[in-house]
Amino acid sequence: MTSTLFRVGLILTYRCNAECRHCFFECSPSSTDVMPLQTAQRLISEALNLGAEWISLSGGEPFLEYELLNELIAFSSGKGLKTEVVSNGFWGQTMEGARSVLKPLMDAGLDVLNLSVDDFHREYISLESVRN
């Protein structure tokens, strides 16, 4: 039986603007851990060589490392990989603001945005931000 690698997830940072009680990774605003660009690019290239079709970028909150996030989406997309980002949506305070944050990522090749919303996240992130 052959196995196909479908998706590889990278945790870009353990820094998060929330500190949810259920967070398995114990992410918090005080964390300073960020994956270096070169490390992420190497891992993405290795994932591609292993047959991955998707790269999922998460954290913590990957939008707190926006430049890194944008760069890695462009890098992955440029190699023919599909890209997704998992976020709590804090950056969506307004519809216009959300568009201005997402447009460059879409232009770089972002395919899917997954938003984390539940009772734990809502202690820190307004539902309105997630809606936007």
User: Taking the CB of residue 73, how many other CB atoms lie within 10 A of it?
Assistant: 25
Residues 6+ apart with CB under 8 A from 88: 16, 17, 18, 61, 115, 116, 117, 121, 124, 125, 130
List, for residues 21-77, the tens digit of each pLDDT value.
Answer: 777 777 787 889 999 999 999 999 999 999 999 999 999 999 999 999 999 999 999
pTM of the predicted protein model: 0.90
Indicate whether 102 pLDDT > 90. Answer: yes
